[in-house]
Protein backbone atom coordinates (compact mmCIF):
# COMPACT_ATOMS: atom_id res chain seq x y z
CA UNK A 1 0.00 0.00 0.00
CA UNK A 2 2.93 2.36 0.64
CA UNK A 3 4.56 1.81 -2.73
CA UNK A 4 2.17 3.98 -4.80
CA UNK A 5 2.41 6.80 -2.24
CA UNK A 6 6.21 6.75 -2.33
CA UNK A 7 6.17 6.66 -6.12
CA UNK A 8 3.79 9.62 -6.32
CA UNK A 9 6.00 11.61 -3.95
CA UNK A 10 9.00 10.84 -6.16
CA UNK A 11 7.14 12.04 -9.26
CA UNK A 12 6.16 15.26 -7.51
CA UNK A 13 9.77 15.83 -6.44
CA UNK A 14 11.06 15.32 -10.00
CA UNK A 15 8.45 17.67 -11.48
CA UNK A 16 9.28 20.26 -8.85
CA UNK A 17 12.98 20.13 -9.74
CA UNK A 18 12.07 20.57 -13.42
CA UNK A 19 9.94 23.63 -12.70
CA UNK A 20 12.22 25.25 -10.17
CA UNK A 21 15.57 26.68 -11.30
CA UNK A 22 18.56 25.97 -9.07
CA UNK A 23 20.79 28.84 -10.19
CA UNK A 24 22.97 30.41 -7.54
CA UNK A 25 20.30 30.11 -4.87
CA UNK A 26 19.54 27.35 -2.40
CA UNK A 27 15.84 28.24 -2.36
CA UNK A 28 13.53 27.08 -5.16
CA UNK A 29 11.07 29.23 -7.04
CA UNK A 30 8.73 29.17 -10.01
CA UNK A 31 10.47 30.99 -12.85
CA UNK A 32 8.84 33.47 -15.19
CA UNK A 33 9.07 30.84 -17.94
CA UNK A 34 7.24 28.19 -15.90
CA UNK A 35 4.50 30.70 -15.03
CA UNK A 36 4.01 31.43 -18.76
CA UNK A 37 3.63 35.21 -18.54
CA UNK A 38 2.71 36.89 -21.81
CA UNK A 39 5.98 38.74 -22.41
CA UNK A 40 4.71 40.45 -25.56
CA UNK A 41 2.70 42.92 -23.48
CA UNK A 42 5.69 44.96 -22.41
CA UNK A 43 8.95 46.27 -23.82
CA UNK A 44 11.66 45.40 -21.29
CA UNK A 45 14.09 47.91 -22.80
CA UNK A 46 12.89 50.39 -20.17
CA UNK A 47 14.13 48.14 -17.37
CA UNK A 48 17.20 49.44 -15.60
CA UNK A 49 19.68 47.34 -13.64
CA UNK A 50 21.22 48.35 -10.34
CA UNK A 51 23.47 46.56 -7.89
CA UNK A 52 21.28 45.13 -5.08
CA UNK A 53 22.05 46.81 -1.75
CA UNK A 54 18.93 46.18 0.34
CA UNK A 55 15.91 43.93 0.77
CA UNK A 56 12.34 45.22 1.02
CA UNK A 57 9.57 42.97 2.32
CA UNK A 58 5.95 44.02 1.85
CA UNK A 59 2.47 42.51 2.19
CA UNK A 60 0.11 42.22 -0.78
CA UNK A 61 -3.59 41.81 -0.11
CA UNK A 62 -6.62 41.28 -2.34
CA UNK A 63 -10.38 41.72 -2.08
CA UNK A 64 -10.89 38.75 -4.39
CA UNK A 65 -11.54 35.51 -2.53
CA UNK A 66 -10.84 33.58 -5.75
CA UNK A 67 -7.33 35.06 -6.05
CA UNK A 68 -6.59 34.56 -2.37
CA UNK A 69 -7.28 30.83 -2.85
CA UNK A 70 -5.14 30.60 -6.02
CA UNK A 71 -1.71 32.28 -5.52
CA UNK A 72 -0.42 31.31 -9.00
CA UNK A 73 -3.31 33.14 -10.65
CA UNK A 74 -2.82 36.01 -8.20
CA UNK A 75 0.78 36.40 -9.37
CA UNK A 76 -0.33 36.49 -13.02
CA UNK A 77 -2.99 39.06 -12.20
CA UNK A 78 -0.36 41.25 -10.55
CA UNK A 79 1.84 40.93 -13.62
CA UNK A 80 -0.88 42.00 -16.06
CA UNK A 81 -2.13 44.77 -13.76
CA UNK A 82 1.39 46.20 -13.42
CA UNK A 83 1.81 46.42 -17.19
CA UNK A 84 -1.66 47.27 -18.48
CA UNK A 85 -2.88 49.53 -15.66
CA UNK A 86 0.25 50.90 -13.99
CA UNK A 87 2.20 51.10 -17.29
CA UNK A 88 5.32 49.60 -15.71
CA UNK A 89 7.72 47.58 -17.82
CA UNK A 90 7.42 44.62 -15.43
CA UNK A 91 5.94 43.48 -12.14
CA UNK A 92 7.48 45.54 -9.30
CA UNK A 93 8.41 42.54 -7.13
CA UNK A 94 11.56 40.47 -7.45
CA UNK A 95 9.90 37.50 -5.74
CA UNK A 96 6.44 36.70 -4.40
CA UNK A 97 5.75 34.34 -1.49
CA UNK A 98 2.44 32.60 -0.71
CA UNK A 99 1.08 31.18 2.54
CA UNK A 100 2.17 27.63 1.69
CA UNK A 101 5.79 28.79 1.39
CA UNK A 102 5.99 28.61 -2.42
CA UNK A 103 8.08 31.31 -4.12
CA UNK A 104 7.38 32.86 -7.53
CA UNK A 105 9.75 34.93 -9.64
CA UNK A 106 8.33 38.37 -10.31
CA UNK A 107 10.57 40.69 -12.32
CA UNK A 108 11.83 38.84 -15.39
CA UNK A 109 15.37 40.19 -15.05
CA UNK A 110 15.66 38.80 -11.53
CA UNK A 111 17.76 40.37 -8.82
CA UNK A 112 19.03 43.80 -9.86
CA UNK A 113 16.29 44.43 -12.44
CA UNK A 114 14.24 47.50 -11.64
CA UNK A 115 11.25 48.52 -13.81
CA UNK A 116 11.92 52.21 -13.10
CA UNK A 117 10.61 52.28 -9.55
CA UNK A 118 10.94 55.53 -7.63
CA UNK A 119 12.93 55.18 -4.38
CA UNK A 120 13.15 51.40 -4.81
CA UNK A 121 16.43 51.56 -6.71
CA UNK A 122 18.86 48.83 -5.64
CA UNK A 123 16.26 46.89 -3.64
CA UNK A 124 15.31 43.22 -3.85
CA UNK A 125 11.53 43.40 -3.28
CA UNK A 126 9.70 40.42 -1.75
CA UNK A 127 5.89 40.49 -1.69
CA UNK A 128 3.88 38.27 0.67
CA UNK A 129 0.54 37.19 -0.85
CA UNK A 130 -1.89 37.05 2.04
CA UNK A 131 -4.74 38.92 3.72
CA UNK A 132 -3.49 37.68 7.09
CA UNK A 133 -1.05 39.96 8.91
CA UNK A 134 0.96 37.06 10.35
CA UNK A 135 3.24 34.78 8.35
CA UNK A 136 2.36 31.10 8.29
CA UNK A 137 5.02 28.69 9.56
CA UNK A 138 5.82 27.53 6.01
CA UNK A 139 6.00 31.08 4.69
CA UNK A 140 8.19 32.07 7.63
CA UNK A 141 10.65 29.25 6.89
CA UNK A 142 10.72 30.05 3.16
CA UNK A 143 11.20 33.76 3.81
CA UNK A 144 14.15 33.17 6.11
CA UNK A 145 15.80 30.79 3.63
CA UNK A 146 15.26 33.25 0.77
CA UNK A 147 16.54 36.31 2.67
CA UNK A 148 19.55 34.41 4.02
CA UNK A 149 20.47 33.13 0.57
CA UNK A 150 20.06 36.47 -1.22
CA UNK A 151 21.97 38.43 1.41
CA UNK A 152 24.80 35.86 1.51
CA UNK A 153 25.26 35.87 -2.27
CA UNK A 154 25.02 39.63 -2.78
CA UNK A 155 26.50 40.88 0.49
CA UNK A 156 23.37 42.61 1.84
CA UNK A 157 22.84 43.65 5.46
CA UNK A 158 20.09 46.25 4.97
CA UNK A 159 16.51 44.97 5.28
CA UNK A 160 13.22 46.79 5.84
CA UNK A 161 9.54 45.90 6.06
CA UNK A 162 7.79 48.48 3.89
CA UNK A 163 4.58 49.55 2.24
CA UNK A 164 4.92 50.11 -1.50
CA UNK A 165 2.95 53.23 -2.37
CA UNK A 166 1.63 53.56 -5.94
CA UNK A 167 1.28 56.98 -7.49
CA UNK A 168 -0.92 56.38 -10.52
CA UNK A 169 -1.85 58.87 -13.23
CA UNK A 170 -4.12 58.14 -16.16
CA UNK A 171 -2.17 56.96 -19.22
CA UNK A 172 1.20 57.63 -17.63
CA UNK A 173 3.95 55.54 -16.08
CA UNK A 174 3.15 55.02 -12.42
CA UNK A 175 5.75 55.54 -9.74
CA UNK A 176 6.22 53.37 -6.68
CA UNK A 177 7.93 54.46 -3.48
CA UNK A 178 8.69 52.62 -0.26
CA UNK A 179 7.69 53.70 3.24
CA UNK A 180 8.76 52.01 6.47
CA UNK A 181 6.01 49.76 7.81
CA UNK A 182 4.96 48.91 11.36
CA UNK A 183 2.20 46.80 12.86
CA UNK A 184 1.42 43.09 13.04
CA UNK A 185 2.88 42.11 9.65
CA UNK A 186 6.16 43.93 10.31
CA UNK A 187 6.39 42.25 13.73
CA UNK A 188 5.72 38.85 12.18
CA UNK A 189 8.53 39.36 9.63
CA UNK A 190 10.96 40.51 12.30
CA UNK A 191 10.12 37.47 14.39
CA UNK A 192 10.76 35.18 11.40
CA UNK A 193 14.12 36.86 10.75
CA UNK A 194 15.22 37.27 14.37
CA UNK A 195 18.38 35.17 13.76
CA UNK A 196 19.26 36.86 10.46
CA UNK A 197 22.33 39.13 10.62
CA UNK A 198 23.14 39.92 6.98
CA UNK A 199 26.46 39.98 5.14
CA UNK A 200 28.94 42.69 4.19
CA UNK A 201 30.73 40.86 1.36
CA UNK A 202 29.24 39.10 -1.65
CA UNK A 203 29.83 35.37 -2.11
CA UNK A 204 28.91 34.79 -5.73
CA UNK A 205 30.72 32.25 -7.88
CA UNK A 206 31.47 33.78 -11.28
CA UNK A 207 31.61 31.77 -14.49
CA UNK A 208 32.89 33.04 -17.82
CA UNK A 209 33.61 31.71 -21.29
CA UNK A 210 36.53 33.20 -23.20
CA UNK A 211 35.10 33.32 -26.70
CA UNK A 212 37.85 35.00 -28.69
CA UNK A 213 41.39 36.33 -28.25
CA UNK A 214 42.92 38.47 -31.00
CA UNK A 215 46.53 39.69 -31.28
CA UNK A 216 49.46 39.67 -33.70
CA UNK A 217 51.77 36.69 -33.39
CA UNK A 218 54.94 38.74 -34.02
CA UNK A 219 56.02 42.21 -32.94
CA UNK A 220 59.32 44.17 -33.10
CA UNK A 221 61.00 44.93 -29.81
CA UNK A 222 60.03 48.30 -28.36
CA UNK A 223 56.52 48.18 -29.83
CA UNK A 224 53.18 47.46 -28.20
CA UNK A 225 51.05 44.40 -28.80
CA UNK A 226 47.27 45.04 -28.75
CA UNK A 227 45.23 42.20 -27.25
CA UNK A 228 41.45 42.03 -27.64
CA UNK A 229 39.46 39.56 -25.54
CA UNK A 230 35.77 38.68 -25.84
CA UNK A 231 34.15 37.01 -22.84
CA UNK A 232 30.59 35.81 -22.15
CA UNK A 233 28.69 35.93 -18.85
CA UNK A 234 27.91 32.28 -18.14
CA UNK A 235 26.08 32.96 -14.86
CA UNK A 236 22.32 33.26 -14.43
CA UNK A 237 22.79 36.59 -12.68
CA UNK A 238 23.95 40.04 -13.76
CA UNK A 239 27.57 41.11 -13.42
CA UNK A 240 27.49 44.49 -11.71
CA UNK A 241 30.75 46.46 -11.91
CA UNK A 242 29.90 49.80 -10.33
CA UNK A 243 31.14 48.80 -6.86
CA UNK A 244 33.78 46.18 -7.77
CA UNK A 245 35.22 46.24 -11.33
CA UNK A 246 35.98 43.07 -13.25
CA UNK A 247 39.70 42.79 -13.96
CA UNK A 248 41.88 41.09 -16.49
CA UNK A 249 44.76 39.99 -14.26
CA UNK A 250 48.08 38.26 -14.72
CA UNK A 251 47.54 34.70 -13.54
CA UNK A 252 48.42 34.26 -9.90
CA UNK A 253 48.74 38.00 -9.33
CA UNK A 254 52.35 38.14 -10.55
CA UNK A 255 53.76 41.42 -11.86
CA UNK A 256 54.23 41.31 -15.61
CA UNK A 257 57.42 42.25 -17.43
CA UNK A 258 55.16 43.45 -20.25
CA UNK A 259 53.25 45.91 -18.02
CA UNK A 260 52.89 49.51 -19.16
CA UNK A 261 53.21 52.05 -16.40
CA UNK A 262 50.29 54.51 -16.10
CA UNK A 263 48.35 52.62 -18.79
CA UNK A 264 47.70 49.37 -16.92
CA UNK A 265 45.55 49.56 -13.79
CA UNK A 266 48.55 48.08 -11.97
CA UNK A 267 51.59 45.97 -12.83
CA UNK A 268 49.37 42.86 -12.50
CA UNK A 269 46.14 44.13 -14.10
CA UNK A 270 46.20 45.44 -17.69
CA UNK A 271 42.49 46.28 -17.97
CA UNK A 272 39.18 46.42 -16.15
CA UNK A 273 35.44 46.69 -16.78
CA UNK A 274 33.58 49.18 -14.60
CA UNK A 275 30.25 51.05 -14.50
CA UNK A 276 28.71 48.48 -16.85
CA UNK A 277 26.06 45.82 -16.23
CA UNK A 278 26.68 42.57 -18.10
CA UNK A 279 23.53 40.48 -18.41
CA UNK A 280 23.50 36.65 -18.38
CA UNK A 281 24.59 35.37 -21.79
CA UNK A 282 25.90 38.79 -22.84
CA UNK A 283 29.36 39.12 -24.41
CA UNK A 284 31.69 41.96 -23.45
CA UNK A 285 34.97 42.98 -25.08
CA UNK A 286 38.08 44.35 -23.39
CA UNK A 287 41.36 45.56 -24.92
CA UNK A 288 44.83 46.09 -23.48
CA UNK A 289 48.43 46.43 -24.64
CA UNK A 290 51.59 44.52 -23.82
CA UNK A 291 54.96 46.22 -24.25
CA UNK A 292 57.56 44.09 -26.05
CA UNK A 293 60.83 44.87 -24.34
CA UNK A 294 63.80 43.45 -22.43
CA UNK A 295 64.35 40.29 -24.50
CA UNK A 296 64.00 38.71 -27.96
CA UNK A 297 62.28 35.51 -28.96
CA UNK A 298 59.14 33.74 -27.80
CA UNK A 299 57.15 35.47 -25.08
CA UNK A 300 54.19 34.15 -23.09
CA UNK A 301 51.93 35.69 -20.48
CA UNK A 302 48.99 33.96 -18.79
CA UNK A 303 45.91 35.82 -17.61
CA UNK A 304 42.67 35.23 -15.72
CA UNK A 305 39.46 37.16 -15.03
CA UNK A 306 38.59 38.16 -11.50
CA UNK A 307 36.39 40.55 -9.53
CA UNK A 308 37.64 40.02 -6.00
CA UNK A 309 41.27 39.31 -5.13
CA UNK A 310 42.30 35.64 -5.22
CA UNK A 311 38.90 34.61 -6.63
CA UNK A 312 39.29 34.10 -10.40
CA UNK A 313 36.23 33.33 -12.52
CA UNK A 314 35.64 29.72 -13.43
CA UNK A 315 37.14 28.84 -16.86
CA UNK A 316 38.74 32.29 -17.17
CA UNK A 317 42.37 31.31 -17.89
CA UNK A 318 43.83 32.36 -21.23
CA UNK A 319 47.33 32.74 -22.67
CA UNK A 320 48.95 35.27 -24.97
CA UNK A 321 51.94 33.85 -26.84
CA UNK A 322 53.91 35.93 -29.34
CA UNK A 323 57.37 36.38 -30.82
CA UNK A 324 59.52 39.50 -30.20
CA UNK A 325 61.81 40.31 -33.14
CA UNK A 326 64.64 42.81 -33.54
CA UNK A 327 63.21 44.36 -36.68
CA UNK A 328 65.68 46.79 -38.29
CA UNK A 329 66.85 48.34 -35.01
CA UNK A 330 70.31 48.38 -33.45
CA UNK A 331 70.05 46.67 -30.08
CA UNK A 332 72.21 46.73 -26.97
CA UNK A 333 72.24 44.31 -24.05
CA UNK A 334 73.04 45.12 -20.44
CA UNK A 335 76.42 43.58 -19.59
CA UNK A 336 77.12 44.58 -16.00
CA UNK A 337 78.96 41.64 -14.49
CA UNK A 338 80.12 43.61 -11.44
CA UNK A 339 76.76 45.04 -10.34
CA UNK A 340 74.19 42.85 -12.12
CA UNK A 341 72.18 45.92 -13.18
CA UNK A 342 72.53 49.42 -14.62
CA UNK A 343 70.75 52.69 -13.93
CA UNK A 344 68.97 54.55 -16.73
CA UNK A 345 69.38 58.32 -16.27
CA UNK A 346 67.79 61.40 -17.77
CA UNK A 347 71.14 62.84 -18.97
CA UNK A 348 74.78 61.84 -19.58
CA UNK A 349 76.30 61.82 -16.11
CA UNK A 350 76.17 59.99 -12.78
CA UNK A 351 74.64 62.99 -11.03
CA UNK A 352 71.63 62.92 -13.39
CA UNK A 353 68.26 61.70 -12.16
CA UNK A 354 67.69 57.94 -12.28
CA UNK A 355 64.64 57.16 -14.40
CA UNK A 356 64.71 53.38 -14.10
CA UNK A 357 67.07 50.43 -13.74
CA UNK A 358 67.63 47.31 -15.83
CA UNK A 359 68.91 43.87 -14.89
CA UNK A 360 71.86 42.16 -16.51
CA UNK A 361 70.89 40.70 -19.91
CA UNK A 362 68.06 43.16 -20.61
CA UNK A 363 67.85 44.30 -24.23
CA UNK A 364 67.10 47.84 -25.45
CA UNK A 365 66.99 49.81 -28.66
CA UNK A 366 70.07 52.01 -29.19
CA UNK A 367 69.10 55.54 -30.28
CA UNK A 368 72.54 57.16 -30.24
CA UNK A 369 75.97 57.44 -28.57
CA UNK A 370 77.82 60.43 -27.15
CA UNK A 371 80.90 60.84 -24.94
CA UNK A 372 80.91 57.28 -23.60
CA UNK A 373 77.15 57.23 -22.95
CA UNK A 374 74.40 55.47 -24.90
CA UNK A 375 70.89 56.84 -25.38
CA UNK A 376 68.43 53.96 -25.25
CA UNK A 377 64.70 53.53 -25.62
CA UNK A 378 63.39 51.62 -22.62
CA UNK A 379 59.68 52.14 -23.30
CA UNK A 380 57.48 53.13 -26.24
CA UNK A 381 58.06 56.82 -25.58
CA UNK A 382 60.69 56.60 -22.86
CA UNK A 383 64.35 57.42 -23.44
CA UNK A 384 67.35 57.55 -21.14
CA UNK A 385 71.12 57.34 -20.88
CA UNK A 386 73.34 54.44 -19.77
CA UNK A 387 77.12 54.36 -19.48
CA UNK A 388 78.29 52.53 -22.61
CA UNK A 389 80.76 50.47 -20.58
CA UNK A 390 77.84 48.45 -19.22
CA UNK A 391 76.29 47.73 -22.62
CA UNK A 392 77.21 45.53 -25.60
CA UNK A 393 75.80 45.71 -29.11
CA UNK A 394 74.00 42.62 -30.38
Residue 365, CB half-sphere, CA atoms under 13 Å: how many?
20
Residues 222, 382: Cα–Cα separation, whole Å: 10
Residues 214, 223: Cα–Cα separation, whole Å: 17
Q: Is the pLDDT confidence value at 339 over 80?
A: yes
Q: So what's the pLDDT on residue 171?
A: 61
Q: Is the pLDDT confidence value at 40 over 80?
A: no
What does DSSP say about strands 175-180 and 159-167: parallel, antiparallel, or unpaired? antiparallel
Residues 2, 4: Cα–Cα separation, whole Å: 6
Which residues face 278 on adjacent strands? 239
**Residue-range domains of the chain with CATH:** 24-192 (3.40.80.10), 208-325 (2.60.40.10), 331-393 (2.30.30.40)
Instruction: Decide if 257 contacts 185 (C-beta within 8 A).
Output: no
Could you give the dihedral angle defined by the CA atoms of residues 246, 248, 250 and 253, in that order, rounded to the nearest 10 degrees?
-10
Read off the pLDDT of residues 350-361 as tens digits, 9 standing for 90 and up.
Answer: 999 999 999 999
Question: With a threshold of 0.85, does the pTM exceed it?
Answer: no
Cβ count within 10 A of residue 389: 12
Closest CA to 182 of 158, 163, 202, 201: 163
Read off the pLDDT of residues 363-379 as tens digits, 9 standing for 90 and up.
Answer: 898 999 999 999 998 87
Amino acid sequence: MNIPKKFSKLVVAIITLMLFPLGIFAFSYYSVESQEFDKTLSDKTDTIYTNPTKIYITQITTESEELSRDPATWVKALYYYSITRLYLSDIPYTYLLDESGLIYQGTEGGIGANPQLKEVDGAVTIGYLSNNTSLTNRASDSLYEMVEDISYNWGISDLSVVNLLINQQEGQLSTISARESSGDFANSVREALVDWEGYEEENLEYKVRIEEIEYEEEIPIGERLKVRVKMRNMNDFIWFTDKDPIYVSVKGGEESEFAINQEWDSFTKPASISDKNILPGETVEVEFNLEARVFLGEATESFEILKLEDQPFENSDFEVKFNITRGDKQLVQVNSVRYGFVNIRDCRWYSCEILDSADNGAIFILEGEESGWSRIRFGVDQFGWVNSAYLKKI
